[in-house]
Structure 1
């Protein structure tokens, strides 16, 4: 399962938007934005984990796994 290179900017943009949403929500004290953005990040990284398992790409599954744990920790922080 190879992902075409032209598809890569889309998930990267979604993850950047989620991280920016968490950051802005924390700075300006908007809990709904933090929860929504972090939930989106959690879903994104769950999808990445599923894709790695389906593609049997276990050699680099630690990267989305660590980011998933960070996203989950961020969601439960507030």
Structure 2
């Protein structure tokens, strides 16, 4: 019985250390601008259809910046017209 318990404890420690190692390597990868990120986006005019877009982290950041710039310009133009 003690040997079974010992084996179970050793297995749990080895699995937790492997999970920790995998987690620490993904933390380093999260800062990599060339990593690929896939997102599912809704299709306009459809309740069910979705598109999957895969871009690098740098491309997603650039797209977010471009959209934010367009929103800021539209809001600034709206205030000038009123």
Shared fold (TM-score greater than 0.5)? no
More helix by share: 1
- Aligning the two structures, in what range does the TM-score lie when normalised by the shorter sequence? 0.3 to 0.5
Q: TM-score scaled to structure 1, two decimals?
A: 0.37
Structure with greater Cα Rg: 2
Greater relative CO, 1 or 2 (CA 8 Å, sep 6+): 1
